[in-house]
Amino acid sequence: MEPGVIHAHAPNDRASKGLGTREATWQNSGRLSTLPEVDPATLVPPGARAVIVSPHPDDEILGTGGLLAKLSDLGRKVLIIAVTDGTASHPDSPEWPAARLAAIRPQETRDALQRLRMRHVALVRLHLPDGGGETFESELAEALKAHLEPGDIVFGTWRFDGHPDHESVGRAMTAVAGALDLPFVEVPVWTWHWATPEDSRVPWSRARRIVLDAATLARKLHAVQAFRSQIEADSSTGREAILPEHVLERLTRSYEVVLI
């Protein structure tokens, strides 16, 4: 998820600064709770494979962890494409140097998928540079073509999500899915930080809710806890967690939002 990178590179109107829009503001507005619902069984029909393109280890769980759990229960095949290894999340940290993050963060993803009780899931790692979204976009597009198949339903971060890596994934997927005539479902992640309920920059007409029952939400919450490098404070620098509680609140609702 890498919020530290955002401040340097994101467009000014979508930069994730400060505490962002409080979850209470989202809930009190009614904007999200009244979005039309979409059934995972319809979103990924029988015989189709879901391909989740994740900029950093944890985005696939934060954005679509509940959907993944439901797809697993439906017996759908899933491919997760990890774009980076998330090595830029703790700059200048003695506790979390890049080499340690390169080893730990992929393992956190594996642990999270086990906690979701995923079946029929494959994982591909592209090892592109974390924070390099502005330069790896063309390389990413070429790599994606090698892994996509006819009939895939592709999911990736929204092309205007606010983080350069997230936006590069969205743009690359838009181009590749269009060229291959595959559906591309965009997933807002950082959007909930910088946007507001009446924000006209968000394409609300495309937004749909995937409602999570209590058991599915519990699986997602358990999976999120696997990302210890991201949810615990850095004792060596005194920095707060990459994913503090107010951020997790916005990403662990009883529904997930996708743009169709």
- Domain boundaries, given as residue ranges, for the chain: 3-259
- pLDDT-derived band at 250 (thresholds 50, 70, 90) equals very high
CB-facing half-sphere around the CA of 146: CA atoms within 13 A: 8
Of 3.40.630.30, 3.40.50.10320, 3.40.1180.10, 3.40.309.10, which CATH number belongs to 3-259?
A: 3.40.50.10320
pLDDT category of residue 124 using cuts at 50, 70 and 90: very high
Q: Residue 10: helix, strand or coil by DSSP? A: coil
For position 2, what pLDDT does the model report?
55
- Look up residue 90 and give its amino acid: H
Confidence class of residue 9 from pLDDT cuts 50, 70 and 90?
Answer: very low
63 in helix, strand or coil?
helix
Summarised one tens digit per residue, pLDDT across range 15-51 is 677 889 999 999 999 999 999 999 999 999 999 999 9
Tell me which H or E stretch contains 255: strand 255-259
* Reported confidence tier of residue 6, pLDDT bands at 50, 70, 90: very low
Q: Which range, of 6-10, 53-57, 165-169, averages the lowest pLDDT? A: 6-10
- Give me the mean pLDDT over the 131-157 stretch: 90
- Number of other residues whose CB lies within 10 A of the CB of residue 199: 13
Rounded CA gap, 161 and 202, in Å?
9
Model pLDDT for residues 44-98, shown as the tens digit of each residue: 999 999 999 999 999 999 999 999 999 999 999 999 999 999 998 999 999 999 9
In angstroms, the first-to-last Cα distance of the chain is 22
